[in-house]
Amino acid sequence: MLGLMQNQQLLISSLIEFAERHHGNGEIVSRRVEGDIHRYTYKDAGQRARQVANALDGLNLAFSDRVATLAWNGYRHLELYFGVSGSGRVLHTLNPRLHPDQIVWIANHAEDSVLCFDMSFLPIVKAVHGRCTTIKHFVALCDANKLPVDSEIPGLISYEAWIGAQSSNYQWPSFDENSASSMCYTSGTTGNPKAALFSHRSTLLHALASALPDALNMSARDTVLPVVPMFHVNAWGLPYSAAMTGAKLVFPGPAMDGKSIFELIESEKVNFAAGVPTIWQMMLSHVQAGGLRFSTLKRTVIGGSACPPAMITAFNDDYGVEVLHAWGMTEMSPLGTVCSLKNKHLTMSSDEKMKIRLKQGRGIFGVDMKIVDGAGEELPWDGKTYGDLLVKGPWVISDYFKGEGGSPLVEGWFPTGDVATINADGYMQITDRSKDVIKSGGEWISSIDVENIAMAHPAVAMAACVGMKDPKWDERPIIVVVKKPGSTVSRNELIKFYDGKTAKWQIPDDVVFVDAIPLGATGKMQKSKLREMLKDYKFREPEDATESHG
Amino acid sequence: MLGLMQNQQLLISSLIEFAERHHGNGEIVSRRVEGDIHRYTYKDAGQRARQVANALDGLNLAFSDRVATLAWNGYRHLELYFGVSGSGRVLHTLNPRLHPDQIVWIANHAEDSVLCFDMSFLPIVKAVHGRCTTIKHFVALCDANKLPVDSEIPGLISYEAWIGAQSSNYQWPSFDENSASSMCYTSGTTGNPKAALFSHRSTLLHALASALPDALNMSARDTVLPVVPMFHVNAWGLPYSAAMTGAKLVFPGPAMDGKSIFELIESEKVNFAAGVPTIWQMMLSHVQAGGLRFSTLKRTVIGGSACPPAMITAFNDDYGVEVLHAWGMTEMSPLGTVCSLKNKHLTMSSDEKMKIRLKQGRGIFGVDMKIVDGAGEELPWDGKTYGDLLVKGPWVISDYFKGEGGSPLVEGWFPTGDVATINADGYMQITDRSKDVIKSGGEWISSIDVENIAMAHPAVAMAACVGMKDPKWDERPIIVVVKKPGSTVSRNELIKFYDGKTAKWQIPDDVVFVDAIPLGATGKMQKSKLREMLKDYKFREPEDATESHG
Instruction: Give the pLDDT confidence of B102-132 residue by residue, as tens digits.
Output: 999 999 999 999 999 999 999 999 999 999 9
Residue A140 CA to residue A120 CA, distance in Å, equals: 10
A219 vs B5, B17, B213: nearest CB: B213
CA B50 remoteness from chain centre: 28
Kindly tell me the sign of the dihedral angle through the C-alpha atoms of A404, A407, A409, A412: positive
Q: What percent of chain A has pLDDT over 70?
A: 97
**In this predicted structure, what is the pLDDT of residue B445?**
85
**In this predicted structure, what is the pLDDT of residue A550?**
34
Catalytic: A439?
yes
Cα–Cα distances (Å) from B370 to B380, B427, B428, in that order, read 9, 11, 9
Phi, psi (degrees; rounded to nearest 5) at A15: -70, -50
pLDDT of A545 above 70: no
**Is B111 near chain A, with CB under 8 Å?**
no
Instruction: Give the pLDDT confidence of B157-181 residue by residue, as tens digits.
Output: 999 999 999 999 999 999 999 999 9
Mean pLDDT of A90-113: 95
**Is A393 near chain B, with CB under 8 Å?**
yes
pLDDT classification of A56: cutoffs 50, 70, 90? very high
pLDDT of A546 above 70: no
Residues A206, A15 contacting (CB under 8 angstroms): no
Closest of B207, B199, B269 to residue B242, by C-alpha: B207
Mean pLDDT of A168-173: 98
Closest of B196, B181, B243, B223 to residue B21, by C-alpha: B243
A198 vs B3, B394, B424: nearest CB: B3
Query: Between chains, do A197 and B4 touch, taking CB under 8 Å as contact?
Result: yes
Mean pLDDT of A152-180: 97
Residues of B in contact with A365 (CB under 8 A): 18, 208, 244-245
3-state secondary structure of B108: helix
Instruction: Give the pLDDT confidence of A274-296 residue by residue, as tens digits.
Output: 998 888 888 999 999 999 999 99
Residues B86, B12 contacting (CB under 8 angstroms): yes
Residue B308 CA to residue B453 CA, distance in Å, equals: 9
pLDDT of A188 above 70: no
**Is A220 near chain B, with CB under 8 Å?**
yes
Closest of A362, A330, A327 to residue A344, by C-alpha: A362
Instruction: Give the pLDDT confidence of B419-438 residue by residue, as tens digits.
Output: 999 999 999 999 887 788 88
Read out DSSP for A365-404?
TT-EEEEE-TTSPBPP-SSS--EEEEEE-TTSBSS-GGGT
B370 strand-pairing partners: B390
Query: Between chains, do A222 and B343 touch, taking CB under 8 Å as contact?
Result: yes
Instruction: Give the pLDDT confidence of B288-329 residue by residue, as tens digits.
Output: 999 999 999 999 999 877 788 888 999 999 999 999 999 999
**Is A394 near chain B, with CB under 8 Å?**
yes
How much is the mean pLDDT over chain A? 93
Instruction: Give the pLDDT confidence of A195-222 residue by residue, as tens digits.
Output: 999 999 999 999 999 999 999 999 999 9
Residues A141, A118 contacting (CB under 8 angstroms): yes
CB count within 10 Å of CB B30 equals: 23
**In this predicted structure, what is the pLDDT of residue B31?**
98
The minimum CA-CA distance between B218 and chain A, rounded to whole Å, is 6
Residue B121 CA to residue B244 CA, distance in Å, equals: 30
**In this predicted structure, what is the pLDDT of residue B433?**
79
B404-415 per-residue burial string, b: 16 or more CB within 10 A, e: under 16: beeebbeeebbb
Alpha-carbon dihedral B209, B366, A227, A328, rounded to 10 degrees: 50
Residues A88, A68 contacting (CB under 8 angstroms): no
Mutate to test the interface with B, among A1, A5, A66, A396 (most CBs of B within 10 A): A5
pLDDT classification of A549: cutoffs 50, 70, 90? very low
**In this predicted structure, what is the pLDDT of residue A27?**
98
H or E segment to which residue B451 belongs: helix B447-455
**Is A407 near chain B, with CB under 8 Å?**
no
pLDDT of A100 above 70: yes
Residue B498 CA to residue B495 CA, distance in Å, equals: 6
pLDDT classification of A76: cutoffs 50, 70, 90? very high
H or E segment to which residue A326 belongs: strand A322-328
Which residues make Cβ contacts (< 8 Å) with residue A260, sequence separation at least 6? A31, A252
Which residues make Cβ contacts (< 8 Å) with residue B380, sequence separation at least 6? none
pLDDT of A403 above 50: yes
Residue A70 CA to residue A79 CA, distance in Å, equals: 14
**In this predicted structure, what is the pLDDT of residue A189?**
55
The minimum CA-CA distance between A327 and chain B, rounded to whole Å, is 16
Mean pLDDT of A65-77: 98
Residue A159 CA to residue A148 CA, distance in Å, equals: 13
Instruction: Give the pLDDT confidence of A495-522 residue by residue, as tens digits.
Output: 999 998 888 888 999 999 999 998 876 6
**In this predicted structure, what is the pLDDT of residue B190?**
59
**Is B180 near chain A, with CB under 8 Å?**
yes
Query: Between chains, do B221 and A342 touch, taking CB under 8 Å as contact?
Result: yes
**In this predicted structure, what is the pLDDT of residue B541?**
59
pLDDT of B56 above 90: yes
**In this predicted structure, what is the pLDDT of residue B79?**
98
Which residues make Cβ contacts (< 8 Å) with residue B190, sequence separation at least 6? none
Read out DSSP for A455-510?
HTSTTEEEEEEEEEEETTTEEEEEEEEEEPTT----HHHHHHHTTTTS-GGGS-SE
Phi-psi region of B253 (alpha: psi -120 to 50; beta: other; left: phi over 0): left
* Between B308 and B513, the higher pLDDT residue: B513
B285-321 per-residue burial string, b: 16 or more CB within 10 A, e: under 16: ebbeeeeeebeebebbbbbbbbbbbbbbbbbbeebeb
How many Å is the maximal CA-CA distance in chain A?
75
**Is A392 near chain B, with CB under 8 Å?**
yes
pLDDT of B249 above 60: yes
Closest of A387, A386, A338, A344 to residue A359, by C-alpha: A338
pLDDT classification of B44: cutoffs 50, 70, 90? very high
**Is B21 near chain A, with CB under 8 Å?**
yes
**In this predicted structure, what is the pLDDT of residue B550?**
34
- Identify the DSSP state of A355: H
B245 vs A2, A214, A398: nearest CB: A214
Kindly tell me the sign of the dihedral angle through the C-alpha atoms of A164, A168, A173, A179: positive
pLDDT of B10 above 90: yes
Which residues make Cβ contacts (< 8 Å) with residue B437, sequence separation at least 6? B419, B431, B444, B445, B446, B447, B467
Give the number of A-B residue pairs with CB atoms closer than 8 Å: 232
pLDDT of B489 above 90: yes
Pairing label, strands A90-93, A180-186 = parallel
Phi, psi (degrees; rounded to nearest 5) at A247: -65, 145
Query: Between chains, do B220 and A1 touch, taking CB under 8 Å as contact?
Result: no
Residue A33 CA to residue A70 CA, distance in Å, equals: 13
pLDDT of B92 above 80: yes
**In this predicted structure, what is the pLDDT of residue B546?**
42
ipTM of the modeled complex: 0.88
The minimum CA-CA distance between B98 and chain A, rounded to whole Å, is 24
Query: Between chains, do B368 and A18 touch, taking CB under 8 Å as contact?
Result: yes
H or E segment to which residue B107 belongs: helix B100-110
Instruction: Give the pLDDT confidence of A323-354 residue by residue, as tens digits.
Output: 999 999 999 999 999 999 999 999 999 889 99
The minimum CA-CA distance between B271 and chain A, rounded to whole Å, is 11
Residues of A in contact with B64 (CB under 8 A): 1
CB count within 10 Å of CB B161 equals: 15
pLDDT classification of B187: cutoffs 50, 70, 90? low
Instruction: Give the pLDDT confidence of B436-485 residue by residue, as tens digits.
Output: 888 887 677 888 889 989 999 999 999 999 999 888 888 899 999 999 99
